[in-house]
Amino acid sequence: MLAAGLAEALAAIHDAGLVHRDLKPANVLITDDGPRIIDFGIARSDTTDITLTTLGGILGTPGYMSPEQATGEVIGPASDVFSLGAVLYYAATGRGPFGQGTVPALLYQVVHDDPDLTPVPDALRPALTACFHKEPERRPNAANLLTLLENLEASEAELPQALRDAPRAQALMWWQQPTVTEPWSAPLPPAQPVHIAPPGEKPAWSSVGDTESDPVAPAFATGAQDVEECRAEQREAERGPAPGPRVDAVVVGDVVEHTRFGIGTVLEVQGTGRTAVAVVSFGARRNTVRLLIRQAPMRKVEA
């Protein structure tokens, strides 16, 4: 109804000898008795030479101009037919046939590009295709376009009421298309045979069935000192008792006899427990040596 009403109004304008030159959605009013075309501010008689510019200014709306209007050529009623196709495209899709952009970009698309008619309903597509011809002489006049649109409405009226009232399927825009995700999974590695080393033989490689236990760590280690004492106990258990005399603890001033360095005096004791270290001065030259108390082969000398 909207398309036929606009075509009828445009035919009446052309019958009056006028060319609107600025047909766009903002210049269409929807009333109770049908659509109305308004704003004849730049309309001219179709018997005069009508061009695009006046003192360098653009007359018209770039996204709804005809190619001949965009290039500054003489225009006639066929230019309004092109603009009517752009208005109907907007009514069917909610956007202009040439999108949005700067004025030079829109004018270039109007002159060189064809609008995408995919979102337009199939029944309206032949009429818009005829309106969007780049050559003015190939476009139908408003009266012929009205006949084409009336035939379209008559064919729809022959459909059952249920089909006429059914919602029309609209093509999805590119951002509305569902995203198809292909299922993908990484291939599993080939199964490896389980190797068990014979008793007493150290395998060249290990597998799930041939693992070594981790070193024993202290169950309640509270710091580096506890960890070091645990490791010292493990080393002592692996090596066995050290040869020679041993002492468990010394204090500053004690005199000790070492199996290698001889007799010396304890100058300082650092740390506690199995990791305690004694700083001992040996001999007449007073050579200072740091010794791990519990592992050093030495004994106390009674005064």
Q: What angle do CA 206, 208, 212 make, to 5 degrees?
A: 60
User: Cα separation of 117 and 174, whole Å?
Assistant: 14
CB 107 within 8 A of CB 47: no
Coil, strand, or helix at residue 284?
A: coil
Per the listing, tokens 């752009």 go with 86
Pairing of strands 255-258, 298-300: antiparallel
Q: What angle do CA 149, 152, 155 make, to 5 degrees?
A: 155
Inter-helix orientation angle 2-15/77-93, to 10°: 160
Write down the catalytic residue from 15, 22, 49, 226: 22
Strands (DSSP E) contained in the chain are 18-19, 28-31, 34-37, 44-45, 53-54, 57-58, 255-258, 262-270, 277-282, 287-292, 298-300
- Tokens at 162, concatenated: 């249920």
* Active-site annotation holds for 22: yes
Q: What angle do CA 177, 179, 181 make, to 5 degrees?
A: 160
Query: CB neighbours of 282 closer than 8 A, spacing ≥ 6?
Result: 258, 261, 262, 263, 264, 288, 289
Residues serving a catalytic function are: 22
